[in-house]
Chains A and B, each alone.
Chain A
Amino acid sequence: MTFSYYPGCTLKTKAKDLDRYGRKAAEALGVTLEELPDWQCCGGTFSMSKDEIASKLSAVRSLASAKDKGNDLVTLCSACHNVLKQTNDAMKNDPDFSAKANNYMKLDVPYNGETNVIHYLEMLRDKVGFDKIAEKVTNPLTGKKIAAYYGCLLLRPGKVMQMDNPENPTIIEDFIKAIGAEPVVYPYRNECCGGYVTMEDKALAKKKSNKVALSAAENGADMIITACPLCLYNLNKNADESDIPVYYFTELLAEALGVKD
């Protein structure tokens, strides 16, 4: 099983763990992740404005390059996934935007959203299969009570992301079961942690991240896992009313598969 892989800027710097464990686990599962040779930063956030073209072009370039490779494009960072998926959707379904973007890009063959963008979690669920993962787990995290934190970008807008039920997701919970731990469902798992304003408004970021962390703790979780570097940072740094640890889900996956050196 071979996929194109888009790591994104943060995974190359502050979130190396997310990337490193993700690659190791993939290898252990027999999945080949081929890093797009010429990927560019996705821009970090998808501009909701229809007339914003330029800021979305770097994402389009990466998508077009993945199309040439011919494999599904796997992302790991929630934010990159959101940007690539939304941009791809616009290229596919917004003729006005795709015409303008193609005009700017001057590709040999116009790009119209042909690449299939999937998140690493979707790859685990739909391509590898959680039951297969459970079989390969050598070091099950038995007894661990883990709270999945989806945040906002992984699931929404639901019509575009189409990963799971945006209000009652199960994909990370199923993942947690696959690695032998017990998922803890709590209501704030899909509410925003306020990561965006961490530079701008610390107080708001603290308030929101505390709400998430406390809700997870209140429901008996030992730890929180996430797919988003910004959420991880924010929950670690700003959720000061709770000391619940936060990990990348790939780290636990690598641990369960016995490849976390």
Chain B
Amino acid sequence: MQVNEKEFKPTIVAFCCNWCSYAGADLAGTNRLNYPADVKIIRVPCSCRVNPMFILRAFQRGADGVIMCGCHPGDCHYTTGNYYARRRMTLLFSMLDYLGIERERTRVEWVSAAEGAKFAATMNEFVETVTKLGENKRLEDLRCKEK
């Protein structure tokens, strides 16, 4: 009998701004709203702190999907940070797509501190999407992968 292949568990990095999305993630927790453990959150002060280098780094080190969450446009704690982040990510994602990296592996979602349910729903959806895509093979550094 064939040994069942291990179920694919994606590695997902979520960058969350401290004021809205990280708080939204906390609220999801407070309300006990489940989403897969594959999602690991990195706290940043604002979505505008997210450097494209971080996203590439995550892919390099074996992430299968990267999502960035910030305050809704207009509600940035720092007034304008997410507007800059929106432009940067739009262009970066478009470029990754242009290079043939599956566009569904990157995502931006605006989640307010009150939207715990949206946070959980977004993560469930994103994990599902990335799981369907399978392992990220187009943008990875083989040396960084566990053998």
Q: Do chains A and B touch in the complex (CB under 8 A)?
A: no
